[in-house]
Amino acid sequence: MFHNAALRRTALAPYDFGLVFAALGLLVIGLVMVYSASVTIAEAKSASHQGSFYLLRHAMYLVIGLGAGYAAFQLPSAAWQKLAPVLFVATAVCLILVLLPFIGKDVYGSRRWIPLGPLGNFQPSELMKFATILYAADYAVRKAADMKSFTKGFLPMFLVMLGLGGLLLMEPDFGAFVVIVTIALAILFLGGLDARLFVGLIAMLAVGFVLLVVLSPYRLARVTGYLNPWDDPYGKGYQLTHALIALGRGETLGVGLGDSVEKLFYLPEAYTDFLLAVIGEELGLIGVLAVIGLFAWLAWRAFSVGWQASRMDRNYAALVAQGVGVWLGFQAFINMGVNLGLLPTKGLTLPLMSYGGSGIVANCLAIAVLLRIDFENRCLMKGKRA
């Protein structure tokens, strides 16, 4: 019996190859579809008029992201816990800097980016999602004995998130605000937050979100437009109607890779927020289900890694792994819901797939930390030090 148990420990793979496959699969599919969705726009709008403009930039972001991920994997989870407050504060400072007129870049009335020359634009809110996971997990572990208390466990984190939310809404970036609050709330709940406080907070947030929508004309217009986009197909329902047309054209097997019509200046943000609609048009229902399946597998494996870490009393690592699962799963769900007309139009990209350097790099960092936690779990199960 002992021989068989030792043999199983020895035979345990050093990495979760299914997790690696799912992440790389989404990155590769994203690279191909970003090129397909952007080639016409690049030929018409880029300074060089080259159809590969966005492809080359997205490939550059992938190389940077994978390099950053490789470096992040070398750090043990204990080191990430020590770095969590520093990274969180540094990213919060960037959220302040982006609001300054001589630093932040204004695009379509939103100030969310810091120009980095040939590297493109840095979007601090994307890195803040990653930093929030590390910080909230560290907070929940440090305050484990006080998580039932309103003043000691809940209130300090609530005030931090309130200040952070204020910065994000000044950009404005309501989508990032929703994702970051969801990440923090989920980690606090998993970390032992009192159930009554959790329910009360959910009620407060629901009321707050409703007020933010009702008191903001452009957000209210998005909600009313989403309920029946065909009432104003050339105005507030324009994006959603064309996304639905794209998905309808794709049917089961799609019209073929590269043969989308909606990406030809009909569907706005085809290679960012509405990439899934182009996937649905060119690869059909099969392509959409494949993407959904990969994200579902990724989220499930993240929670499985976290559960395994918690069984080994590695509470910080467990919360970080589950936080990664919440982030990627929830943001993917929101993006897919918007593309399918199930949720109001919101400027959230599809993780690991949509065009955008900050998002890709932050996603790769999250996957790398998740793989590191899984690697440490496996080393401990083998009786070795990571």
pLDDT in tens, 288-313: 999 999 999 999 999 999 999 999 99
pLDDT band at 130 (very low <50, low <70, confident <90, very high): very high
pLDDT band at 386 (very low <50, low <70, confident <90, very high): low
Query: What average pLDDT does range 243-271 have in this prediction?
Result: 93
Asked if residue 1 is part of any domain, the answer here is no
Is the pLDDT confidence value at 6 over 60? Answer: no
Is the pLDDT confidence value at 3 over 60? Answer: no
- Judge contact between 270 and 262, C-beta under 8 A: yes
Asked if residue 8 is part of any domain, the answer here is no
Structure tokens at 93: 């400072």
Alpha-carbon separation of residue 102 from 10, 97, 105 (angstroms): 57, 9, 8
Segment among 116-125, 219-228, 316-325, 349-358 with least mean pLDDT: 219-228
- Judge contact between 111 and 171, C-beta under 8 A: yes
- For helices 124-142 and 315-339, give the axis angle rounded to 10 degrees: 140
Angle, alpha carbons 126-127-130 (nearest 5°): 105
Is the pLDDT confidence value at 267 over 50? Answer: yes
Is the pLDDT confidence value at 331 over 70? Answer: yes
Structure tokens at 341: 């007309």
Domain residue limits at 175: 17-381
Instruction: Return the H-helix or E-strand segment holding 230.
Output: none
pLDDT band at 7 (very low <50, low <70, confident <90, very high): very low
Is the pLDDT confidence value at 47 over 70? Answer: no
Output the pLDDT for position 245.
94
Q: How many domains does the chain have?
A: 1
Asked if residue 291 is part of any domain, the answer here is yes
Segment among 15-29, 223-237, 246-260, 289-303 with least mean pLDDT: 223-237
- Judge contact between 337 and 40, C-beta under 8 A: no
Query: What average pLDDT does range 339-346 have in this prediction?
Result: 86
Asked if residue 266 is part of any domain, the answer here is yes
Distance CA 250, CA 277 (A): 9
Distance CA 91, CA 333 (A): 25
pLDDT band at 46 (very low <50, low <70, confident <90, very high): low
Q: What is the largest CA-CA distance in the chain?
A: 70
Asked if residue 40 is part of any domain, the answer here is yes
pLDDT in tens, 220-238: 777 776 777 887 788 778 8
Is the pLDDT confidence value at 147 over 90? Answer: no
Q: Which stretches of the chain are assigned E, i.e. beta strand?
A: 105-107, 110-115, 121-122
Which stretches of 228-271 are DSSP H helices? 238-250
Asked if residue 66 is part of any domain, the answer here is yes
Angle, alpha carbons 354-360-361 (nearest 5°): 170
pLDDT in tens, 174-218: 889 999 999 999 999 998 887 887 787 788 777 777 777 777 776
Give the DSSP per-residue string, 89-108.
HHHHHHHHHTTSTTTSEEET
Output the pLDDT for position 210.
77
Residue given tokens 């982030």 in the structure block: 327
Is the pLDDT confidence value at 4 over 60? Answer: no
Segment among 74-88, 90-104, 107-121 with least mean pLDDT: 107-121
Q: Which letter does DSSP use for residue 159 in this model?
A: H
Query: What average pLDDT does range 349-364 have in this prediction?
Result: 95
Asked if residue 355 is part of any domain, the answer here is yes
Asked if residue 386 is part of any domain, the answer here is no
Find, among 171, 384, 168, the residue nearest to 182 by Cα.
Answer: 168
Report CA torsion sign: 260, 261, 262, 265. positive
- Judge contact between 233 and 266, C-beta under 8 A: no
Output the pLDDT for position 149.
78
Distance CA 347, CA 2 (A): 55
Output the pLDDT for position 5.
47
